[in-house]
Amino acid sequence: MEYARSYNHKTFGAIGSVTFDVPKGTFKLNGQVLPDASVAHLMTFALQTLQDAYAGAKSTDEALGAFNGKLDKLLNGTIGTRGTGDGADERTRVARVIVRGAVKAKFGAKSPEWARFTGLDDAAQNAKLDEWFAANEATFAPAVEEKMAELAASRAKRAELASAVTFDM
């Protein structure tokens, strides 16, 4: 069975198209064989994910980028997975969250400084946050340690709860 779909943005026009080939065979839902019409319906809605990717785009380039990014993830098998991140440890990630909040509060969410910062790619933002933390470590360190303690207590509480209950799968 073949499902072809074209994608058009209401403002920016044609975005792309795909053809989804599904081998003819038996498809079941809750153990019941589905008729071809039901399989076609499900495949049509599965392809909706590509339209959802660009629905809120503010420009043609943004719509095309979102569509092609989602299509790439589908084709390379990374759909639904998180990025690998930069390998930062938990303390560094916590420090970045705290510094980011302080920077946003200091500059303001609508300031040109905040816009410049948020316009950086992820790696550049992380580098800047690490730089700001290092320059102000004495000020930030107590807040980081407090948050680390909260996270440890939360993990301990979850472990305590998990040891006190049973779950059947």
Domain end marker among 76, 98, 113: 76
Task: Give tens-digit pLDDT for 46-77.
Answer: 888 888 988 888 888 888 888 888 888 888 77
Contacts of 128 (CB under 8 A, 6+ apart): 117, 120
Nearest to 97 by CA among 48, 151, 133, 61: 133
Single residue among 76, 110, 135 that ends a domain in this structure: 76
- Residue 33 covered by a domain: yes
Of 74, 69, 86, 75, nearest to 121 by C-alpha is: 86
pTM of the shown model: 0.51
82 lies in some domain: no
The candidate with the shortest Cα–Cα distance to 74, out of 84, 66, 62, 63, is: 66
Whether residue 146 lies inside any domain: the answer is yes
Q: Quick check: is 83 in a domain? A: no
Domain of residue 70: give its range. Answer: 2-76
Residue 140 has pLDDT above 90, yes or no: yes
Residues 151 and 90: beta-carbon distance below 8 Å:
yes
**88-117 pLDDT per residue, tens:** 888 999 999 999 999 999 999 888 888 888
**Number of independent structural domains in the chain:** 2
